[in-house]
Chains A and B, each alone.
Chain A
């Protein structure tokens, strides 16, 4: 069925362009890097890209419904701050208590050791997911446009984050940091599997960066099934023609709630990883804003239409990769830091234009507006 393949390729033109573009720039990066193609460079790059990739995936879901989520960076930052308390790995456990408007709230004690660490991570992911659900509820039940609803909730999340971490600080368990931000070989030796990573069958895989594997896992285990679920299909339908989706008897409100909740989960993953990577929590407002804006850029570069209905979170991962690789180049070519935003902007324009190239091939100009 060669024609079916051609149809699929044409329908995923944006994603295909993103992948090709990434391959080209990343190959160029490695070729011009003195230590190109080494595991160390790959590990460093995958650490730097993971959080943005997760935030971009979080952004993709509302964009597919023709909305924008301005809270993704803030939500990620809030989870990052929570993680710096809940994932310290302190052997004695962590008492869960906080002061809020003069009231001391206590929720018991998080156990120490590995179970406590995993529980803390789950709680952090849960906080992200709940944040997403809150966004969804404001949008669905408040009948408020996503861009405004999330502008407000984003401010709330940043507020919570600042309350938690007025100054950068906190700590993440060292072993966890080491295990998740290095290669698979280091992961295996830290968690003591595969003969501490010395198993002979494992050796050819030991160079692969762990964040990369996590990213692929989240995409495969969460996004791919979601896309094939009824809720996932409904998201695309809402972005494409909400009226037709309603008339087809689809559960629109439920799908919107699920979409924002899923976005919150992705943002939570980003926040947890950022905490692990930096081994601290930081309620950095400019950084949160930059993540939000870059997530939108990544979504667009990855071939998702801001008008909704077409695209995928996989494309956004590639969009995030492209954005990050662009900034990697600055390190090699030693461009003055003050000029970097200027070059970033120019390159971003070029990258977005490449994905808009299909417009040139359209001979019926009426199709430009569909």
Chain B
């Protein structure tokens, strides 16, 4: 247990929080210091998010006290925490999509002139802060919803820095970032640390924690398990602390066999200037990865296959039949059988206020009909099968899906599509913001589905994952597939160099080279 000392900046003691019958936090004592990066680790549902929300004034604890710099605080709303110097970069972005980048960065305390917002000063301020986080390329006048997710997250960080925090909390702040941006965030955090800011860093990426953290605290089942200085535990020891059980191999073994015949064949696919003459095969039983820097056309390729994009040219062949899906409804139709697990599960994946049952059944209602009506019995059986197959932890199936943890929500999205019996499964970064345990379940599930004959196209921002899971990886750069890696060629050096579109003969590029391309 962390004992409070004079140097501690934030001290929590005896914090407890329940949501209905679910215990989110129990008797948590926790402390962190200025000028340190403190990693908070734990599976989804371990209580990390609740802990942060309490410190940020979003939720109020049932018991316990919060002390900042020796002063006892009770935050009733986010604004009060911000006033005390606590600033959060949330996993669920807190940006306002219809306002400009400049508006968003200065949203809580805009510069004023004659009592009104001084838009020019605000734009200058946004430019300065964007430069500080290394995002000079973002025009502050653009609306946030016109930016890709990775840029939005950088804007979010710029917004947080602009509030000059004493305690900065980053909740999965790098989950949507490109590797170049991650480097920028690293150097920014180093500068903040030198400026004596206390930093709480929540991440599911172990190598980030290794690279950044000075101390780390592990949470499990709403309890603070242990706090230790970085370097005193190995990664596997930490993982064990997090999940409380031993993990031998992270990725399921890949089958050793000939390349299977193509179930999905893409030829010369072109869309606007974002997809340029894409040709790719995915065999039945094969997991093909899409890699490369963020925003090189990977998401567009998945959307194109799923019938979302208009004005496509080229051919898509599914099991020998040319298809031209005009909408997601066409794409999932019997005979085509394409499923897409989308990028943003909260917006594109789930109807958050609807029940778990409704969400699971929504894509396969056609299979659950009796006459014109949805058959309650069929629906219940299908939903139960889906929950069981993915081992989704649910209390009551009639609860709103928003009550589930992030990992379980993602499982609902995947289960929903598996219930349609897809032959082609498109995955758009499905492990983003998900805990280690659930990630491994998903890896196993992907291999299992492939073994049952599904063709899987898997986009991931995590190179490790691509190497561990995929039979083959296609690297995209500027809307083209620049390289396909397979077998022994499928390693981090090759992925990084292909992502930056540099020849493999050159020495492996360090990630910061990406800045020039970013």
Contact = CB atoms under 8 A, between A and B. Distances in A.
A233 interface: yes
B196 to A, nearest CB: 23
A362 B309 CA distance: 9
A264 B408 CA distance: 46
Contacts of B310: 362-365
A233 B110 contact: yes
A229 B116 contact: yes
Contact of A247 (B94, B97, B117, B272): B94
Given A229-B116, A244-B93, A365-B310, A310 B108 contact: no
Contacts of B94: 243-244, 247-248
B117 A244 contact: no
A365 B308 contact: yes
A45 interface: no
Interface stretch (B43-51, B75-83, B279-287, B496-504): B75-83
Interface string A164-202: 000000000000000000000000000000000000000
A225 B115 CA distance: 9
B319 interface: no
B53 to A, nearest CB: 10
Interface string A332-370: 000000000000000000000000000000111110001
A305 B308 CA distance: 23
A4 interface: yes
B145 A370 contact: yes
Nearest to A239: B98
B309 A363 contact: yes
Contacts of B271: 363
A92 interface: no
Interface string A1-30: 001100110010000000000000000000
B107 A247 contact: no
Contacts of A248: 78, 94, 96, 104, 107-108
Q: Which of A233, A236, A251 has the most CB of B within 10 A?
A: A233
Question: For chain B, what secondary structure do more than half of its interface residues adopt (helix, strand, loop), or is it mixed?
Answer: loop
Contact of A249 (B77, B100, B139, B348): B77
Contacts of A225: 116
Contacts of B139: 3-4, 7
B79 to A, nearest CB: 3
B99 interface: yes
Nearest to B141: A7
A228 B141 contact: no
A308 B96 CA distance: 12
A230 interface: yes
B97 A240 contact: yes
Nearest to A224: B116
24 contacts: A8-B141, A11-B100, A11-B143, A229-B115, A233-B99, A236-B96, A239-B98, A240-B96, A240-B98, A241-B95, A247-B94, A248-B96, A248-B107, A248-B108, A249-B108, A250-B107, A250-B108, A309-B99, A310-B98, A363-B309, A363-B310, A364-B300, A365-B309, A365-B310
Interface of B: 58, 77-79, 82, 88, 90, 92-100, 103-104, 107-108, 110, 115-117, 119, 139, 141-143, 145, 271-272, 300, 303, 308-311, 327, 348
